[in-house]
Chain A
Amino acid sequence: MTAVTPERPSAGRRLAGFARLLVSPRGAVFLLLAVLLIAITALNPSFAEPGQFIRFIQRVAPVAIVAIGQYFVIVGGEFDLSMGSVVTAQVVIAGNLIGQDDARSVPVLALMLAFGALVGLVNGLIVSFLKVPSFIVTLGMMLALLGATLYWTGGAATGNPADGFRQIGRGGIGDLPVIGVLPWSVLILAVVLAAAIWFARRPFGRTIIALGDNPVTARYSGTRTWWVKTSTFVLSSLSATVAGVLLVGYAGVHPSVGRGYEFTAITAVVLGGVVLGGGRGWVVAAAAGAFALEALFTLLNFAGVPSTYRDAVQGAIIILAVAYAATTVSARRRGRALEAPADAPSPDTEPSPDTEPSPDTTPATGPAPETSPAPTAKEPDPSPDPARPAPIPSTQRADNETKGGS
């Protein structure tokens, strides 16, 4: 951890902005993805062929789309654990309601989208108005939705949608010059990603991030909190719906399709450098996190690692990735504070009271006494600010009162 600190500024000086972006948590996922892809290609050169690569993208598409949806919820400061169940429910709905009748595809698709929006709306409204933590709301939704779906199907795989509908996840535009087949799911992923990028850049998308960063200031600056929050849940459920449509074609109808997707999506999002708790992250990095995760699995396949170890490696990777992001953030904070103490502190200290302890605790134990005084000395500074003094003294007093009183 401390070894990173001296390296960081010198690397930044040498390779300037780009290297800094790649090494920063925001860009690290792209570096990871590139390394993984190169490793896969080294093990299996045919992977780099355009046709193979497109198939890889096709395989990632549902996960990436779910991750994009989850991104909006997480960056808004919440969780959506119900996504996997939404995927399952949508797959089963498609399987049972469309049947072998192609003509029903469009109405059922509309129904699925409406159902997805409804699930998100219910999640969001309960979170916003009943003030139930989203973890609990979406956990309840996950149990209820999965239970209802299994009750409907009797717990078995039933239904088989018409081939025309399955083509969305399975087929594509054929006979293209370089890549051979361009699967629909790749196109859909591209559209979803483009829409997400556009949406995240809109004022509304930025409001989501503001809400995740600090709900109080977001509310004071006139955000309709409930509406922003609810819409993130609607977005995530809709993205789960789209993933469900793709999975119907790709994986078929089975109540276990989609199980565990919520954790995969959260993993991908976190791998993409998005901070749990909200306020920080980039939607493209979240999608790249999904790619990196899937590339990791592909690599393990090619390397001949038994599939049972996949979970173990996945677990280790996400811990390392997040640890890397967390320690690098603190290192960069420290670095920037030293480089430009005049202008850096004011934007730095105010929006991040939670991450602020990290630069201090790290050097306090480690052999970096030069850097630690700067943030620690800065610590009391914000208290005279009009924004900060109230919470800290009052809480301290509350603690002291109870300690002394009893």
Chain B
Amino acid sequence: MSGPAGNATPTSATPTARPRRRPLDASLIVGIALVAVIVIGAVLVASVGRNFFSPGNIRDILTGMSVLGFVAIGQTLVILCASLDLSVPYVVSLSSLIAADLMAGDPANIPLAVLAVLAVAALIGLANGLIVTELRVNGFIATLGTGLIIKGYLDSSYKGTSGDVPWEFQLIGATGLGPVPVSTLIMLAVALGGAFFLARTRTGNHMFAVGGNEQVARLSGIRTARPLIVAHVLCSVTAALAGLLLASRLGVGSPTVGTQGGYDLLSIAAVVLGGTLLLGGRGSVWGTIGGVAIFAVVDNVMSVMQVNPFLKDVVRGTVIVAAVAVYTSRSLDRRRPRFGGGSGATTAASPQRGDREEVQA
């Protein structure tokens, strides 16, 4: 919460004392939390006479991860830029409907449908990004608004489930390599892509800068609009991937599948659970995957223990707050070094200098 002015003096005074403890607070603490949750979960599951590490159970957990994982990867990028995307559940629903409608049971239509879904999602993301950057509307409000607009369209155009997904496409949601579902593998591949994007590309690096302090980023010669727009586009695209996956699992498109999952708030919670700062500028895709995994494990343990579905929400809410409290208590005073361990940020130098000259001219 405390602004840059508050942190300035300690940071500039002790830049060398920090790094020794820094590695603990990034993705590692998420990993530790995940391991702790798995151990507790395994003990609890064992106490009712079931095996947490059975292939079936692991498959359940990984399956539970994939949809939220897709959404959360995109949400990570948006939150890194200090924005939010509340329109994801409606994008998820819309993509599942478009995909199922366009496929119409014919495997030949699959490529076209997938492309159309991704294009529509990219357009929505572009609209979000432009509203945030050009109209200077807070991301919370902008995406709440576009989400409502999509919801209005969904509610008035679709009365219920629609379309028909061919079996070939349903296989994506149904098959797996051993205990690992294909959908989770795709999700992890997208996560790898996202991590690569953040670490190795110029726009990815600029996302950290823009999210950390937009004004400083601008003064350093970054065109601040572009990373934000790209983040919003990518977020909508990953939400569309989640919608495609859900369509493949359900076999039809559904106008309520996104809102039922509560993907807007849960993805934000997963991102924050993964150690990404809600204020932007710091975080990682792998942390987010860890956060999603924590959610999946907690859900799975509660399912195995047959917890009342309403009590699950109570546990979920408590876990979110408690976990984030643990992170913040550890890493609050060390949020200034944003580039954890200097993992990436290589190629940015020369093109960035070009930008700077442009600004000065």
* Chain A residues proximal to chain B, CB less than 8 Å: 77, 81, 126, 130-133, 135-137, 139-148, 150-151, 155, 214-216, 219, 263, 266-267, 270, 276-277, 306, 308-316, 318-319, 322-323, 326-327, 330, 353-354, 356-358, 360-361, 379, 387-388, 390-392, 394-396, 398-400, 402-406
Contact = CB atoms under 8 A, between A and B. Distances in A.
B137 A326 contact: yes
A396 B220 contact: yes
12 contacts: A130-B329, A131-B325, A132-B328, A143-B320, A147-B312, A155-B310, A311-B151, A314-B148, A315-B145, A327-B136, A361-B218, A405-B342
B342 to A, nearest CB: 4
Interface in B288-337: 308, 310-318, 320-321, 324-325, 328-329, 332, 336-337
Contacts of A399: 209, 212, 216, 220, 338-339
A148 B314 contact: yes
Contacts of A126: 321, 325
Given A126-B321, A144-B318, A151 B215 contact: no
Given A150-B310, A319-B141, A402-B345, A140 B318 contact: yes
Interface string B1-45: 111111111011001000000000000000000000000000000
Contacts of A309: 152, 156
Contacts of A323: 131, 135-137
Nearest to B336: A398
A315 B338 contact: no
Contacts, number: 229
B48 interface: no
The DSSP consensus for interface residues of chain A is helix
Contacts of B337: 398
Given A322-B138, A406-B343, A133 B278 contact: yes
A143 B324 contact: no
Contacts of B265: 81, 139, 142
Given A263-B144, A394-B12, A403 B138 contact: no
A130 B328 contact: yes
Interface string B145-159: 111110111011000
Contacts of A388: 5
B175 interface: no
Contacts of A353: 215
Given A136-B268, A144-B318, 4 more contacts: A312-B153, A313-B152, A403-B205, A404-B349
Contacts of A308: 152, 155-156
Given A151-B310, A390-B9, A402 B155 contact: no
A315 to B, nearest CB: 3
Contacts of A155: 310
A272 B278 CA distance: 25
Contacts of B141: 267, 270, 276, 318-319, 322
Nearest to B158: A308
Given A361-B225, A391-B4, A315 B148 contact: yes
Contacts of B136: 323, 326-327, 330, 358
Interface string B203-215: 0010001001111
Given A319-B135, A319-B145, A136 B219 contact: no
Interface string B341-361: 011111011001000000000
Size range of the interface on B? 35 or more
A147 B311 CA distance: 6
B140 interface: yes
A97 B287 CA distance: 44
Interface of B: 1-9, 11-12, 15, 131, 135-138, 140-142, 144-149, 151-153, 155-156, 205, 209, 212-216, 218-220, 224-225, 265, 268-269, 272, 278-279, 308, 310-318, 320-321, 324-325, 328-329, 332, 336-339, 342-346, 348-349, 352
Most B Cβ at <10 Å: residue of A216, A323, A403: A403
B214 A214 contact: no
The DSSP consensus for interface residues of chain B is helix
B329 A131 contact: yes
B313 A147 contact: yes
A146 B153 CA distance: 28
A379 B314 CA distance: 48
B152 A311 contact: yes
Most B Cβ at <10 Å: residue of A139, A141, A270: A139
Contacts of A356: 215
Contacts of A387: 5
Contact of A315 (B5, B147, B343): B147
B156 A132 contact: no
Given A311-B149, A391-B5, A405-B342, A319 B142 contact: yes
A390 B205 CA distance: 23
Given A319-B131, A326-B136, A391-B8, A406 B325 contact: no
A155 B316 CA distance: 17
B320 A136 contact: yes
A402 B342 contact: yes
Most A Cβ at <10 Å: residue of B146, B213, B278, B321: B321
B331 to A, nearest CB: 10
Contacts of B325: 126, 130-132
B72 to A, nearest CB: 14
A49 B332 CA distance: 57
Contacts of A357: 214-215, 218, 224
Contacts of A143: 313-314, 316-317, 320
Given A147-B312, A319-B135, A136 B215 contact: no
A153 B278 CA distance: 34
Kindly list the 10 A-B residue pairs having the minimum CB-CB distance in the complex, ordered from nearest: A312-B152, A147-B313, A315-B148, A144-B317, A143-B317, A391-B4, A323-B135, A390-B8, A140-B321, A319-B145
Contact of A216 (B2, B268, B311): B2
Contacts of A405: 342
Contacts of A316: 145, 149
A151 B309 CA distance: 8
A394 B12 CA distance: 6
B8 A394 contact: yes
Nearest to A389: B8
A310 B152 contact: yes
A81 B321 CA distance: 13
Nearest to A141: B317
Nearest to A122: B321
Given A155-B310, A390-B5, A132 B216 contact: no
Nearest to A404: B349
A392 B148 CA distance: 38
Given A135-B278, A326-B135, A406-B344, A315 B3 contact: no
Contacts of A322: 135, 137-138, 141-142
